[in-house]
């Protein structure tokens, strides 16, 4: 997937290196990483014994030095992985700030263009943006059209076509065309500014499972510390004179879960970064953890399941009008309608290849527009001189019924209103048809989840325009993926039960709350939580805030109200509700990665036990050499090989920690079995192979046979 924000092409390894050195502080490690704190203590103990004269026999100095260095590098690799992942997270904010750079804009003042700095623009100012230029700040197009490159903001590589009335984002680029834009946001309040603010303010408190895992690792470290110390004194008392501090520290570090201890901070930070790279801000680790455990999700119909903009899909003629007549009448009623519904009617006429005569277009210019309002619930045009219009179009090939009605009202000298609107608003005035017949057609349309608009010429019913709120492209796959992951989607809508059921069936949703009020969403969240479910709620309005705050995971759209964003614990900067699957997948990937590395680490420790402890015992008792199941060369090479493997496995797994274990929607049991085979059994076998190879290499380098 294309990253929505490009990070620096080159990493600042000097900064990463210095940060990793700072994190080597025992105080920092004691507070943040108890496992690595024990390892760094082991390094200091062996290093001090090397520095103080007489503490170590001369023949053991090289061994102590080797153990000390491997301990140091094991800790440094851990702090490096954490510093590296933190750098990637911070790089996102830096890369966003690139789009805040000051540019020269062409400000429009009294039909003249003045070059001004972008930071001087205020809400209401108008600017001209030409091909190849950058949009100075957020606004909407008041004239012209253009293809925009929004890839640096949204991640979509395809140019986006924008025309009059569309919103443009500061920092995006005009790649074809020319537009005039009215500024809608002042400096510091643009889309990019909001993203920077959200990203930089998002904190990463540890999730409950991360805290629990840290407690477990601390407990294991303490237990192994006691075991190692006790073993040292027992072996000394039994006459194992070759047992020394370095050997016991090596045993302790080998037994401790250093792999997960070393990578745990990086996994957590990288998980947050992966969400951020996909323009999703998680305010806490708890939200991510809850998203991965969710089994109920409440989805709004409008804008989530459907496009939220009804479009014309069919013309139904009435009273012997033909489809062409209905199309021409619809054109006249919709010419001045700049809503998406109005535009969709014109688009439907064009897709049906119905040619509109030029003189019909002229009628719209000679008529008075009738704007839609809540009280009347219709829109269209009013012709104040029908006789003149009649004479103007008499030679045009227009349907007979249409001409008859024009002639009738021209004879009466009455104005003509060509309207489209709510059936309830227009039906009472119809006199050319049985109203019950129209009502039956309207009911049939409603049962299919569609919306009828009645088309009239004064008191004459001409036809019905059928509108449908289309389901979003790919939403069926989204719902299918949610079900595969064991999550039950519930659609929430204010529509009547029939319309709601039709849309739900089309999208593949089995559970619906129809005729819902804002309080119903909150009540549903509370009801499901009392049943023991983990609930995700999505919304963008102030009325959604209570449900977003109550839900285990509240996802607010960045385009939503402040109240919604403050109540939620996740924010989708792209305001694309269908990306909830991505949120869940990334959350599950984070926990699966943590689980996989933990499994790998524990499996490693079990294997390392069979390589290092037997070799310590063999030092004083060659008779039990049969415990050397790998036939390692000497106790020294075996212990050093184990320590080296213990250190290098951490940087080897850094890419996995940053990238995450690959996750796809499937049965959780299947995911568990697959990861157990790879990271459990694989984690147990890898140390045997790697340690044997390192032991052979050490034997060659040390000249041991």
- Whole-angstrom CA distances from 205 to 98, 211, 269, 457, 647 are 28, 10, 10, 65, 28
Could you give the C-alpha distances from 208 to 85, 213, 527, in angstroms and in order? Answer: 21, 9, 24
The pairing of beta strand 167-168 with beta strand 139-149: antiparallel
> Tokens in use for 613?
């402890």
Nearest to 550 by CA among 561, 536, 560: 536
CB 103 within 8 A of CB 172: no
Separation of alpha carbons 292 and 273, rounded Å: 16
Answer yes or no: are the C-beta atoms of 157 and 2 closer than 8 Å.
yes
The secondary element (H helix, E strand) that includes residue 228 is helix 208-237
Is residue 579 within 8 A of residue 291, CB to CB? The reply is: no
Do the beta carbons of residue 542 and residue 561 sit within 8 Å? yes
The 3-state DSSP class for residue 214 equals helix
Per the listing, tokens 């911070």 go with 90
Whether 193 is catalytic is no
Rg of the chain on CA atoms, in Å: 35
Question: 494 with 486: CB under 8 angstroms?
Answer: no
Residues 152, 171 contacting (CB under 8 angstroms):
yes
Mapping DSSP to helix (H, G, I), strand (E, B) and coil, where does residue 646 land? helix
The DSSP code for 670 is H
Contact between residue 200 and residue 97 where contact means Cβ atoms under 8 Å apart:
no
Which position among 300, 337, 495, 572 bears the catalytic label?
300
SS3 451: strand
Greatest pairwise CA separation for the chain in angstroms: 125
Q: Tokens standing for 160?
A: 């986006």
Structure tokens at 400: 């007979």
Helix, strand, or coil (residue 77):
helix
Containing 462, the helix (H) or strand (E) segment is strand 460-468
Residues 6+ apart with CB under 8 A from 412: none
Please list the residues that pair with 580 across neighbouring strands: none
Residues 6+ apart with CB under 8 A from 603: 679, 680, 681, 682, 683, 684
- On whether the CB atoms of residues 298 and 536 are closer than 8 A, the answer is yes
Cα separation of 274 and 272, whole Å? 6
Q: Which residue has the tokens 């950058």?
A: 134
CA pseudo-torsion sign 555, 556, 558, 562: negative
CA distance 175 to 133: 8
Strands 139-149 and 173-183: antiparallel
Give the integer Cα–Cα distance in Å for 513 and 492. 5
Phi, psi at 358, each rounded to 5°: -60, -35
Give the residue numbers marked as catalytic.
300
């Amino acid at each position: 997937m294309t990253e929505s924000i490009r990070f620096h092409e080159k990493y600042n390894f000097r900064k990463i290196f210095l940060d990793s050195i700072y994190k080597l502080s025992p105080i920092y490690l004691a507070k943040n990483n108890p496992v690595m704190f024990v390892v760094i203590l082991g390094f200091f103990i062996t290093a001090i014994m090397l520095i103080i004269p007489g503490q170590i026999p001369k023949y053991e100095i090289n061994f102590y030095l080797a153990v000390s260095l491997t301990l140091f590098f094991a800790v440094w690799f851990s702090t490096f992985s954490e510093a590296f992942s933190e750098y990637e997270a911070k790089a996102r904010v830096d890369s966003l700030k690139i789009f805040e750079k000051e540019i020269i804009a062409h400000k429009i003042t009294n039909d003249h263009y003045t070059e001004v700095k972008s930071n001087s623009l205020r809400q209401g100012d108008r600017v001209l943006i030409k091909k190849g230029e950058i949009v100075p700040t957020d606004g909407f197009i008041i004239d012209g059209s253009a293809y925009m490159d929004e890839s640096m903001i949204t991640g979509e590589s395809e140019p986006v076509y924008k025309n009059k009335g569309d919103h443009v984002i500061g920092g995006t680029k005009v790649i074809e065309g020319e537009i005039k834009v009215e500024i809608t946001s002042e400096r510091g309040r643009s889309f990019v500014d909001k993203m920077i603010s959200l990203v930089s303010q998002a904190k990463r408190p540890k999730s409950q499972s991360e805290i629990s895992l840290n407690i477990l690792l601390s407990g294991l470290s303490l237990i192994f510390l006691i075991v190692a110390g006790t073993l040292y004194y027992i072996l000394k008392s039994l006459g194992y004179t070759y047992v020394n501090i370095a050997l016991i520290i090596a045993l302790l570090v080998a037994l401790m879960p250093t792999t997960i201890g070393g990578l745990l901070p990086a996994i957590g930070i990288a998980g947050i970064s992966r969400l951020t790279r996909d323009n999703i801000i998680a305010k806490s680790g708890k939200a991510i953890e809850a998203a991965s455990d969710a089994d109920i999700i409440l989805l709004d119909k409008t804008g989530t399941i459907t496009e939220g903009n009804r479009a014309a899909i069919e013309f139904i003629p009435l009273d012997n009008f033909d489809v062409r007549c209905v199309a021409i009448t619809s054109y006249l009623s919709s010419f001045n309608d700049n809503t998406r519904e109005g535009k969709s009617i014109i688009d439907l006429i064009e897709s049906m290849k119905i040619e509109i005569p030029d003189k019909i277009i002229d009628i719209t210019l000679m008529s008075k527009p009738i704007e839609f309002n809540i009280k009347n619930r219709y829109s269209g045009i009013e012709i104040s001189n029908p006789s003149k219009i009649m004479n103007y179009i008499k030679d045009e090939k227009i349907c007979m019924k249409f001409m008859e009605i024009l002639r009738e009202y021209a004879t009466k000298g009455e104005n003509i209103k060509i309207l489209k609107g709510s059936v309830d608003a227009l039906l009472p005035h119809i006199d050319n048809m049985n109203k019950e017949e129209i009502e039956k057609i309207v009911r049939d349309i409603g049962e299919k989840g569609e919306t009828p608009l009645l088309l009239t010429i004064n008191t004459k019913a001409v036809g019905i325009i059928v509108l449908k709120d289309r389901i979003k492209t790919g939403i069926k796959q989204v719902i299918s993926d949610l079900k595969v992951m064991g999550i039950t989607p519930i659609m929430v809508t204010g529509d009547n039960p029939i319309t709601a059921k039709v849309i739900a069936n089309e999208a593949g949703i089995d559970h619906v709350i129809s005729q819902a009020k804002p309080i119903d969403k909150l009540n549903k969240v509370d009801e499901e939580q009392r049943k023991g479910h983990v609930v995700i709620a999505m919304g963008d309005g102030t009325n959604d805030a209570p449900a977003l705050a109550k839900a285990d995971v509240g996802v607010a759209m960045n385009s939503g109200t402040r109240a919604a964003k403050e109540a939620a614990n996740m924010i989708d900067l792209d305001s694309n509700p269908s990306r909830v699957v991505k949120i869940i997948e990334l959350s599950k990937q984070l926990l699966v990665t943590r689980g996989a590395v933990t499994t790998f680490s524990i499996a490693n420790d079990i294997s390392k036990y069979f390589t290092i402890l037997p070799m310590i015992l063999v030092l004083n008792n060659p008779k039990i050499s049969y415990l050397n199941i790998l036939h390692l060369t000497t106790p020294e090479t075996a212990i050093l090989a184990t320590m080296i493997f213990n250190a290098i496995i951490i940087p080897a797994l850094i890419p996995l920690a940053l990238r995450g274990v690959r996750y796809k929607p499937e049965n959780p049991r299947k995911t568990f079995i697959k990861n157990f085979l790879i990271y459990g059994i694989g984690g147990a076998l890898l140390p045997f192979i790697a340690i044997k190879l390192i032991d052979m290499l050490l034997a060659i380098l040390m000249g041991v046979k």
